[in-house]
Amino acid sequence: MLLQHASMFLFPHQVIKSDTFKHLRHLEILQLSKNHIRQIEVGAFNGLPNLNTLELFDNRLTVVPSQAFEYLSKLRELWLRNNPIETLPAFAFHRVPSLRRLDLGELRKLDFISEAAFEGLVNLRFLNLGMCGLKDIPNLTPLVRLEELELSGNQLGIVRPGSFQGLVSLRKLWLMHSRVSVIERNAFDDLKNLEELNLSHNSLHSLPHDLFTPLHQLERVHLNHNPWVCNCDVLWLSWWLKETVPSNTTCCARCHAPPGLKGKYIGELDQSHFTCYAPVIVEPPTDLNVTEGMAAELKCRTGTSMTSVNWFTPNGTLMTHGSYRVRISVLHDGTLNFTNVTVQDTGQYTCMVTNSAGNTTATAVLNVSASDPSNSYSYFTTVTVETVETVRGDEENSARQYVNETFIDFPNPTVQRGVLEGRPGITIPPSLSSLSSLSPRANRATENSVTVSIMDVTNIPGLDDVMKTTKIIIGCFVAITFMAAVMLVVFYKLRKQHQLHKHHGPARAIEIVNVEDEIGAGAGSGISGGSTMNSGSGGEGTLRIHHPEIVNLPNIGRTDTLNHYYKTHHFNNNVMGLSNGTNNNPSSMSPPLPMSLPMPTMGLHGSIKGFMGQNHNPQMEPLLFKGSSKENVQETQI
C-alpha cells in the first residue's frame, strides 16, 4: 500500500531538515500544521514529486520558505495561515506556478507586500488575504485567472479605482468587516465577470451612482450592516436592486438615516420619498487647440462623487471609465484623457453627468492642427519692441528688438515689420502692425511686448558670438591658471637650490678694520664702552664685544687657531670710545660681556698700540685681514 496522506509532529529543534521526506515519493497530502515549526531548510521537500497539498498553518514561520518549494512541481494547495510572517518579498511563490489555492490569512504581523509578490502565479484560483491588517489592496495584476478573493477582516477604509486591475476572471469578492467607508467611482469597473460581492459589516453611507452598472454578471450583493443614509444618492441602488434581485429586495440593507426612514429596506424606496435635483458640473470642459501628437485633457468635474460621468465623442461613441482605447480613456475623476491626439480627433465632445434626478451636459471643441514636418519642435520667447524717436527730424529713428538679451537694430520704424518678417522662423502677429504708424515727432519711447515663435534658434544674431566669446574667456582663464602653476613650481625649485647652495658654501665675507685714532700705551681701552682689553705680559689680550655676531673666516694669514670674528652691531656716541678698566672691573659705562676672543700673536701687517704686549712695536698701524677668496671684500673703518 502506497502512502498518500501523512500527518507528522514533533520535529526536533522546530526545524525541518533537508531530505526529510525523500523516501515518500507517492505522498500527495502532507499536513505539518501546529508543529511550532520555525525554519524549513532548502531541500526539505526533496523527493515529493507528487505532493498536491502542503499544510503549514499555525506554525512559527517568520518568512516564506520559497526555496524549499523548488521541486514541488505538482503542488496545488499551500496553506500558510496564522504564521508570524512579516513580509511577502518579490517572487515569493514563483517556484510553484502550479498553485491553485493559496491561504495567507491571519498573517497578523504582515507589514509589507512587494509589488511583485504574486508574480508567477498564473494558475491561482483562490487567494485568502483576510485578517492580515491590510490598509491597502496589494498589487494583484499577475493573478489573471483568480476567481475568488478573500479580503475580509482588514482595515482598507477606501476602495479606489484600479485596485482590482487585471482580475478579469474574478467571480467572488469578499470585503466584510474591512472598515470600508468610501468606495470611489469606477472602483469595480475591472471586474467584468464578478458574480458575488459582499460589502456587509462596513461603514458605508452611500455608493456612487451606477457603481454596479459595468458589472453585467453581478447577481448577489450583500450590503447589510452598514449605516446607509437614504437620500437621492441611494435611489439608483434601490432601482438596481429591484431589477437585479426582484424576488428578495429585503435581503440587502436597511436605512440608518434620516430618522423618518430608519429601518426601511433600501429596495423599497422610490423617488416619492425625496426631492432630488440634477447634478451640477463644477468644472466644465473648455475648448482646446493642440498640435497633432500632443497629449490633451478635457475636464468635467462635479461637486460630488455620487454621480456618474460619461463622454460622447464627435462620432457619437459613448466613452465610460473602463472602456479603454489605445489613446483615449475616461479617468476616475471624469476627465477625458488623450495620450496623443490626431487630426481625426478634431470635433465636439460632450460630457454627461448623471444622478438619480437626471443628467447635465457640457460640450467642448477639440481642434487638432497638423504638425509641420519640417519643424520637429519650436521655441517661444518674449520679444520686447522698443521704439525711440528724437525731436530732431534729421536724426535717424531707431528701434531695438531684444531677443534673449540680444538686440536687433533697425534704421527706421516703418521697416521693422518687413525686417522681422524676412528673418527665417520669426512670425510677427498683426498687433505689431501699428508700429509703422508711430508719429515721427514722438517725444517718449514706446514699448510693446509680444510672444513670437522662434523656429530656428541658430539664426538669432549674436548668439554664436556670445558662445564663442564665452569659450575664449574660459580658455584664457584655464591657460593663465596653468602658467601660474608652472611658474610657482619653478620658483619653488630655484629657491630650494639657492638655499642648499648658501647653506653648504664657505663664508667669503671679509672685513678690514682700520684704526686711525691713537690709543695710549699700556692703558686698557674699551670699544664702544662695552669692550675692554687687558694689557698684560704674554703678548696676549682679550677683546670683549657687546652683542657679537659670528662670521667664519677661512684661511686668514698663517694661523689656524682664529676661526671666529666678532663684529659689534652698534657703537655708542664715540666711534672709538675709550675707558679705563680691567677685565675684572670694567668701567660703569662698559658692562661685562659674556664672550671673549683670544688674540694670539700673528704675523700681521701691523699692530695696535695699547692692544699688544710690551714686546710689540708700539707704532699704530692698520690691521688688515686678507682671505684667499677673490670675492668682494667688505670694508669697515673704525
Whether 98 is in a domain gets the answer no
- Using an 8 Å Cβ cutoff, are 321 and 189 in contact? yes
- Residue 618: is the preceding peptide bond cis (ω within 30°)? no
For residues 419 and 534, membership in a common domain is answered with no
514: enclosing H helix or E strand? strand 511-514
| Average of per-residue pLDDT across 426-439 | 39
In terms of residue numbers, what domain contains 451?
A: 379-458
Fill in the DSSP letter of residue 68. G
| Average of per-residue pLDDT across 324-352 | 88
Number of folded domains that form the chain: 7
pLDDT tier at 610, thresholds 50, 70, 90: very low
Cα–Cα distances in angstroms (integers) from residue 495 to residues 152, 235, 482, 484, in the given order: 86, 100, 20, 16
For residues 362 and 387, membership in a common domain is answered with no
Instruction: State the Cα–Cα distance between residues 330 and 337, nearest whole angstrom.
Output: 6
For residues 305 and 267, membership in a common domain is answered with no
For residues 543 and 626, membership in a common domain is answered with yes
Whether 89 is in a domain gets the answer no
Whether 61 is in a domain gets the answer yes
For residues 427 and 499, membership in a common domain is answered with no
| Average of per-residue pLDDT across 73-87 | 95
468: enclosing H helix or E strand? helix 463-504
Q: Domain boundary residue among 342, 369, 396?
A: 369
pTM equals 0.57
- Tell me, what's the pLDDT at 532? 39
Record the cell numbers describing residue 388, joined without a space: 525711440
Q: Is the pLDDT of residue 57 over 50?
A: yes
Q: Note the pLDDT tens digit of each residue in 486-500.
A: 999 999 888 888 887
Task: Tell me the β-bridge partners of 399.
Answer: 387, 410
Sheet containing 358-369: order of strands: 288-291, 358-369, 347-355, 308-312, 318-319
Q: Domain boundary residue among 191, 226, 261?
A: 226
Instruction: State the Cα–Cα distance between residues 326 and 338, nearest whole angstrom.
Output: 9
pLDDT tier at 128, thresholds 50, 70, 90: very high
Q: Domain boundary residue among 430, 458, 486?
A: 458
pLDDT tier at 627, thresholds 50, 70, 90: very low
For residues 558 and 631, membership in a common domain is answered with yes
Whether 96 is in a domain gets the answer no
- Using an 8 Å Cβ cutoff, are 356 and 233 in contact? yes
For residues 118 and 209, membership in a common domain is answered with yes
241: enclosing H helix or E strand? helix 235-244
**C-alpha distance across the termini of the chain, in Å:** 135
For residue 521, give the amino acid letter: A
In 3-state terms, what secondary structure has residue 434?
A: helix
For residues 452 and 552, membership in a common domain is answered with no
Instruction: State the Cα–Cα distance between residues 265 and 288, nearest whole angstrom.
Output: 47
Whether 374 is in a domain gets the answer no
